[in-house]
Amino acid sequence: MSEIIPDAKWRVALLVFNGAWASTVYGSLELFHSANLRQPKDQQFHCDLLSEDTQPVQLYGGHSIHGDAVIGEQSYDLIILAHYWGDFEKVKQQHPEIPPWLAKQYAQGARIAGINSGIFWAAEAGILNGGRATTYWRHLREFQQRYPDIQWQANQASVEHQGIYSSNGQNASMDLSLHLLEKFCGSSLVAGLARDISSDSRRIYDLNLINIAGFRQHRDLGIHRAQDWLDEHYTESIELQSIAKKIGMSKRTFIRRFQKATGELPSRYLQRLRVEAAKHCLANTQDSIKTIGMGVGYRDISSFSKVFKSLADVTPREFRTRLRPASIRNTSKDD
């Protein structure tokens, strides 16, 4: 049963249905519970395991659970859709009330997060039409055919579009849950939480493809192709003229359209890609700052540090100090 928090500030629903993966249900639930332990009562989350009706839900692993509540008139601030494994049509037919309920919740201001293939509920509800999303690779082709009005981003770990969030793998789902907590609680709480629960791999929520998701919220397909290419080749020496040629534009047209679509010059977008990749390395490896800077595409540490601070408001060394425990920092190879 969910913990009753009368003064909770935010209501969160973790939607469960037949075929849902328990790990994506309970993993998210425990993250929000951990966040509650770090916050005052009036800043906490009330989390419900939510099902369509009072019948037991058969999870993918064979166990069954009962929801804490059933879908109805109650409103939520965040709805998390569990990853599932099974036949889409069968699951959809078993739970016909979920899509219209989800559309209503979204219209009332709820944020929607589909963990991997859980995003199909948002697609089915029609709230992603004309938008962008990612999903578990095994379901990507099926979803592309079923929902052609959605721009499916196969190579992005996580995507954010107008309050709808999606991820494409088990690790990405953890990062997505932490990213959602950051939206509500701020980066300081989540950085500490991520460090505590991820001591083995030192993963953090601050992955580059989440932080630059906002620059993908446009419908210029030519610029999307350019961004896809930059996402793959940002560590290389890049000439704007060569990118423009790849997508059939003049350099001048490419720069103009890129800025109109994203709000950034392509050179600044490239810097963002490199800095976000560097953040991940600073928090997850013992490599020196110089090695990391060169690894993401900079020729000297001075240029790297200058660009990093202009985008992150701190130096690379300060960023590493803030996110990593002293015992780990002391073993890094910083110059």
**Domain spans, the chain:** 10-208, 221-329
Q: H or E stretch including 13?
A: strand 10-15
Mean pLDDT of 59-76: 89
Which 8-state DSSP code applies to residue 20?
A: B
pLDDT at 211: 56
Residue pair 2/74 in contact (Cβ under 8 Å)? The answer is: no
Sequence-distant (6+) residues with CB within 8 A of 233 are none
Q: Is 235 exposed, middle or buried (0-12, 13-18, 19+ CB in 10 A)?
A: middle
Q: How far apart are CA 302 and CA 127, in angstroms?
A: 45
Tell me: the pLDDT tens digits for 84-126?
Answer: 887 888 888 999 999 999 999 999 999 999 999 999 999 999 9
Superfamily of domain 221-329: Homeodomain-like (1.10.10.60)
Pairing of strands 64-65, 57-58: antiparallel
Tally Cβ neighbours within 10 Å of residue 155: 10
* Mean pLDDT, range 249-266, rounded to an integer: 93
Task: Name the β-bridge partners of 165.
Answer: 113, 160
Please give the average per-residue pLDDT across 19-37, as a whole number.
87
Which pLDDT belongs to residue 1?
A: 43
Rounded to whole angstroms, what are the CA distances from 301 to 266, 290, 293, 333? 22, 5, 6, 14
pLDDT at 76 over 50: yes
Torsion of CA 21, 23, 26, 32, to 10 degrees: -120
Residue from 228, 226, 231 nearest 241 by CA? 226
Bridge partner residues of 64 (DSSP): 58
Q: Phi and psi (nearest 5°) for 234?
A: -65, -20
**Tens digits of per-residue pLDDT, 198-236?**
533 334 334 445 556 667 767 788 998 899 899 889 999
Of 319 and 253, which is predicted with more confidence? 253
Question: What is the average pLDDT score of the chain?
Answer: 84
Alpha carbon distance 141, 143 (integer Å): 5
Question: What pLDDT, on the 0 to 100 scale, is given for residue 160?
Answer: 86
Question: 174, 232, 237: which is closest to 207 by C-alpha?
Answer: 174
User: Does the reported pTM lie above 0.75?
Assistant: no
Following CA atoms 169, 133, 105, 214 in sequence, which dihedral angle do they give, to the nearest 10 degrees? 110
Domain 10-208 and domain 221-329 have a common topology? no
Write the pLDDT tens digit of every residue in 169-191.
766 677 788 888 888 887 777 77
User: Domain 10-208, what fold?
Assistant: Rossmann fold (3.40.50)
Stronger pLDDT, 309 or 178, i.e. the higher one: 309
